[in-house]
Amino acid sequence: MENENFPATYQNWKETMELQVVETEKRKQLLGAEHPDTLRSMTTLAATYLSHGCWKEAEALQAVMMEGRKRLLGNEHPDTLMSMADLASTYSNQGRWKKAEALQVVVMEKISQLHENEHPDTLRSMENLAATYRNQGRWKEGEALQVVVMEKRKWLLGDEHPDTLASMANLANTYRQQGRWTEAEALQVVVVEKRKQVLGDDHPEALMSMADLAATYSNQGHWKEAEALQVVAMEKMKQVLGDDHPFTLTSMADLAKTYRKQGRWTEADALEMVVTEKRKRVLGDDHPETLASMANLVGTNRD
């Protein structure tokens, strides 16, 4: 069921973040930086940073938490492994695949020793590593892990559980990046409908699913179907996440690509310029998505 307060929560995120910063600093002063309560506050603040694309701020906190938990709990404690997994995901969000992979391999191996193969933490570690493989173009390695995770989650959690739907969406993206459009589309159509039902039309994961399906339509030359979904996804992401969120910028870049494929250069150029400038500011000049935007802008101008 949709959370009616979800958009409001995102709109008030700056106020929430400021309160969390104050709380974290107070706990550092009163309890020390490595006290469990302080680490929990840091975890909450890092999650807020992540939900709004503040990767550098999240990374700084997560690195401190990981080292603190290693000292307090040891390298193989579940909380330490969770901190390592969180930091790896943040590396991945910044396009730092090798650093992400190095941590994720360790996490998956350690968690596999602690838990059985069907344990949620084991499956999550496999899924994270699979995404990093995919982002490096290592399709077969990523796909092999993703198929296992998806099938196990269907069996354990059911077809409509958010974790199952996430597995389906991830596998669909791997298919799409290999040009296997039909297989990708079949999964994505299901994910879009299920996420709307389970999470609500305006939930970020539902919107990202729409954007993914639209990209698959675009890859197949179905420009009008792609554009219709992309416009809706982009406008809703602006409302829910804000204009500068990385997901919003991805939706704008996707729409620009669809305009470009239809020869609508002026519209494509206008969007791509906005995306490029915002990605430079939000992600940094060297992030893969920033570089892709710069290349797209040059391509649009040449056309």
pLDDT of 301 higher than 70: no
Q: What is the distance between the alpha carbons of residues 191 and 143, in angstroms, rounded to a whole number?
A: 18
Q: What is the pLDDT of residue 17?
A: 82
Q: What is the pLDDT of residue 6?
A: 42
pLDDT of 2 higher than 60: no
**What mean pLDDT comes out for the span 193-202?**
95
| Host H or E run for residue 66 | helix 55-73
Contact 287/96 with Cβ under 8 angstroms? no
Q: What is the pLDDT of residue 118?
A: 87
**What mean pLDDT comes out for the span 98-112?**
96
Please state whether 257 falls in left (phi above 0), alpha (psi between -120 and 50) or beta: alpha
Query: Which value, to the nearest 10 degrees, does the dihedral of the CA atoms of residues 135, 254, 239, 228 take?
Result: -130
- Domain residue ranges in the chain: 61-114+124-133
Contact 209/169 with Cβ under 8 angstroms? yes
Query: What is the pTM for the complete model shown?
Result: 0.76
Q: What is the pLDDT of residue 34?
A: 84
Q: Which is nearest to 110 in space by CA: 125, 129, 100?
A: 125
pLDDT of 5 higher than 50: no
Q: In the structure encoding, which two tokens stand for residue 123, read together?
A: 């499956």
